[in-house]
Every structure is written in C-alpha cells, then in structure tokens.
Amino acid sequence: MVATVTLEPAGRCRWDEPVRITVRGLAPGQPVTLRASLRDEKGALFRAHARYCADATGLLDLERALALGGSFAGLEPMGLFWALEPEKPFWRFLKRDVQTPFAVELEVLDGHEPETQRLLGRAVHERDFLAPGVRREPVRAGRVRATLFLPPGSKPFPGILDLFGSSGGLCEYRASLLAGHGFAVLALAYFRFEDLPEHLNDVCLEYFEEAVNFMLQHPKVKGPGVGLLGFSKGGDLCLSMASFLKGITATIVINACVANTLAPLHYKDMIIPELSYDLEKYTITESGFLNFVDIWGNPLEKTNHQSLIPLEKAQGPFLFIVSMDDHNWKSEVYARIASERLQAHGKDRPQIIYYPGTGHCIDPPYFPLCRASVHAVLGQPVFHGGEPKAHSNAQADAWQQIQTFFHKHLNGKKSVRPSKL
C-alpha cells in the first residue's frame, strides 16, 4: 500500500466526537475514492464513499478538501460517517450494545471509476459509546427496569431520565454518550423488555414516578430535581411526567406530541385517554412508503381535549426539538400548541428549535439518517422524512443544545459552547 491513512485523535474515540481524516503518500492531484464501511451487531453492512483529489503535495485532508461526488459532495469532514447507508433496505442504524465499539473500515482506492480502482491504503477506526471512566450499572429496583450511566468522579452529577419511543426495549446509546458530558443518565425501558409488558396497552405513571424517585434518592445524583429527555412517544410521556410528578426541573422532548398517544395513561384515580387516530388516512409516497402524518386527530378538537397533557402544571422549563420534515406526526404543530397553552396560563414560552429538512428520528451526531423503516406490525416501510445533509447538521446542533439546556437548568452553567446553527 502506498498511501497512509491518519486519524486525529488517534486510537478509539466516542461516536459523537469528530475525527480528522488525512491521507498521505499520494501523487500531486491524484484522484482517489474514500470508502467507509461497518457492520452492526446483527451483521448488517453500512457503506459510504466519496471522490476526492489530492492537493499539489500529494496530501488529502478531509477538513480542507471538497468531495467531488459519491454519497455526498462539498466540504464534509465527517461525511463518511453520517452518510453511511445500509446494504439491507430500511435497516436502521442503532447501537444495541454500548459496551463494544463500532469498527469503521476506511479504504483509499485509486481513481474515481469503480471498475478500475485498486486499494492504496486502509485503516480501522474504533468509535465507542462509553467515555473513559463512565460506569454502566443495570437497574432492577422495584418495578424499574433501566440502566444507569455515571460519569467518573466522586461528586454527584445532574440527573436525567432518557426515554425512547414506541419501538420499546431498552435503548442505551444516547444515555451512555450523555454521561460522557457530565450527566448521570438513566436509560429507562417501559415496555417490551424483560418482565415489562410486551405491548403498549395501558401505561401507569406510577412506574415513571418510581424511576424519578430512584434517581432523586441516588447518592451520585445532584438534586433537588432531575431532567427528562424523551423522543417520540417517550416525549409525550416526559410531558406527562413533568406535569404530574414532583422533582422535575427541566424537560426536553424531541418530535413529541402535546397529547397522550397510543395508550391510555393512568395515574392514581385519573385516566388520560389516547389521542384519536384513523389508520385509513395514511398515504403512500412516490417511493411506496407508508406516510402516517395525517392519521392523527387534532388535539384541539373537542373530542380530543381530554387527551391533552396539562403542561401548565409543570414547574420547570421546556425545550422542544422539532423536525420540519417529520412524517410520523405534526411535531411543528404540537410544539406551537404547547407554547400557546403555556402562555395562555401565564407560563413562560418554551424554547423551540426548528430544524428544516430533518426527519423524525433525531439521534446523536454522525448517526446516519433513517428515512424509512419497516413497521413491526404492518411489515411495510414507514416514511420518517429528512434529507441526509440537513439531518446531520440538525443532529450535531441539537446534541449541543441538549447539553447546554441541561447544564443551564440542572447544573447552573450558562453555556457549554456556542451553537453552530
């Protein structure tokens, strides 16, 4: 091999950290193709590639060189990561075991034509999900089924409960990465995990209250309250928790509904019914994907009033992260309804960040876009929306906004670093 691939920082780094890729030993102006590939824990292959030309000294630096085409174009130092696409259609990029890294193979191929390319150099780059010193502790306390991630150090840390959506199970990758930024984070399962209910039929808020109390009583969690982070169905659960439970200081929801969805919510002697929906109102995109954005009832219609979550009862601030190209439901409309409701009750206007060109599934930085995935029950691909470049920019910015918001309201810090958008 004639080319040397160098990565900075050298060695293993976190998935949410940028890496600088350079190639040395090329001829001046030499055309090459860079290719990235990885396999997830289930063996699914993801790939991305881009065409470049070395500079006048034979150096290729992805922080300065423009991609001339391929999976992306232009100045995209991390494009080989966020542009990864699955070989198997509709396969979502996920990290199921945060205790092992992803190994990304980077290859330098001669020329821009696939049939004439020969390998000039390669490197394997490991990207993990646990920062040095972060502890992963499974939690089986009472009814609570979760995993707690604790940063290194003897002091207590601001606590966060992290909830995902209607796919169920226990998702740890967001919590594990957040712990690397100074938070004690509880990744909380609430169905389809171990002895929890298999289906989302009836939801009892007492279960989530037990999880909040677990965090408030933990010696490594800094009080007097905790933060909530919820995506999709997990988002409306966080809104309900903030509205009815004590000890909630700040709440962030990602593409969440302002009404209770999918299953009745029980708390003590109260029941909040689920928002109405009509599956007959789905549409089909030009690509043949199911589009569910129009199946949901209007939360402001009289028949749905009881499903609305009384946000005005919450004590802490809200941050709504909204994808403008969300095709699962009308996240933009729901955020506006939440803002109007809070202000009508004399509460502060929530912080809302709108991201154009962004689909439903907002993950930490450099996670590839999931535009569509196969519905677990219907067995057909469901459209989530988004464009890869805009989605990548949004994920990087939203990740910083999440940290800034929680550091400000849980830790008393004004900012971590300025937003890039």
- Amino acid identity, position 29: G
The pLDDT > 90 percentage for the chain reads 92
CA neighbor of 370 nearest in space, from 380, 358, 378: 358
The yes-or-no verdict on residue 122 having pLDDT over 90 is yes
The H or E element that residue 336 is part of is helix 331-344
From the list 128, 236, 325, 326, the catalytic residue is 326
Residue whose pair of structure tokens reads 């824990």 in the numeric block: 41
Structure tokens at 396: 């990087």
- Cite the DSSP H helix spans in 218-330: 233-244
Residue pair 345/318 in contact (Cβ under 8 Å)? The answer is no
What pLDDT, on a 0 to 100 scale, did the predictor assign at position 113? 84
Average model confidence (pLDDT) across the chain: 95
The yes/no answer on whether domain 4-128 falls in CATH 3.90.950.10 is: no
DSSP 8-state secondary structure symbol assigned to residue 274: P
Q: How confident is the model at residue 379 (pLDDT cuts 50, 70, 90)?
A: confident
Per-residue model confidence as pLDDT tens digits over 185-207? 999 999 999 999 999 998 999 99
The yes-or-no verdict on residue 378 having pLDDT over 90 is no
The yes-or-no verdict on residue 420 having pLDDT over 50 is no
Note if 232 is an active site residue: yes
Q: Give the max Cα distance, the chain.
A: 75
Note if 360 is an active site residue: yes
Three-state secondary structure of 285-306 = CCCCCEECCCCECCCCCHHHHH
Per-residue model confidence as pLDDT tens digits over 131-160? 999 999 999 999 999 999 999 999 999 999
What pLDDT, on a 0 to 100 scale, did the predictor assign at position 142? 97
Average pLDDT rounded to a whole number, residues 400-413: 93
Per-residue model confidence as pLDDT tens digits over 23-62? 999 999 999 999 999 999 999 999 999 999 999 999 999 9
The yes-or-no verdict on residue 1 having pLDDT over 80 is no
What pLDDT, on a 0 to 100 scale, did the predictor assign at position 95? 96
Higher per-residue pLDDT: 378 or 409: 409
Q: How confident is the model at residue 414 (pLDDT cuts 50, 70, 90)?
A: low
Residue pair 151/179 in contact (Cβ under 8 Å)? The answer is yes
CA neighbor of 218 nearest in space, from 259, 244, 194, 184: 184
The H or E element that residue 335 is part of is helix 331-344
Strand partners for 373: 382
The yes-or-no verdict on residue 316 having pLDDT over 80 is yes
Higher per-residue pLDDT: 175 or 417: 175
Per-residue model confidence as pLDDT tens digits over 103-113? 999 999 999 98
Average pLDDT rounded to a whole number, residues 347-363: 96
Q: How confident is the model at residue 421 (pLDDT cuts 50, 70, 90)?
A: very low
Distances (CA, A) of 22 to 5, 13, 31, 50, 156: 6, 16, 14, 14, 40
The yes-or-no verdict on residue 212 having pLDDT over 60 is yes
Note if 331 is an active site residue: no
CATH architecture of 135-411: 3-Layer(aba) Sandwich (3.40)
What pLDDT, on a 0 to 100 scale, did the predictor assign at position 377? 66
CA angle 98, 104, 107 (to 5 degrees): 180
Rounded to whole angstroms, the Cα distance separating 376 from 257 reads 21
What pLDDT, on a 0 to 100 scale, did the predictor assign at position 116? 66
The pLDDT > 70 percentage for the chain reads 96
Rounded to whole angstroms, the Cα distance separating 295 from 329 reads 8
**Domain ranges (residues) in the chain:** 4-128, 135-411
From the list 360, 384, 391, 409, the catalytic residue is 360
CA angle 19, 60, 127 (to 5 degrees): 20
Cβ-based burial of 116 (10 A; exposed 0-12, middle 13-18, buried ≥19): exposed
From the list 71, 232, 240, 373, the catalytic residue is 232
Structure tokens at 166: 């209607």
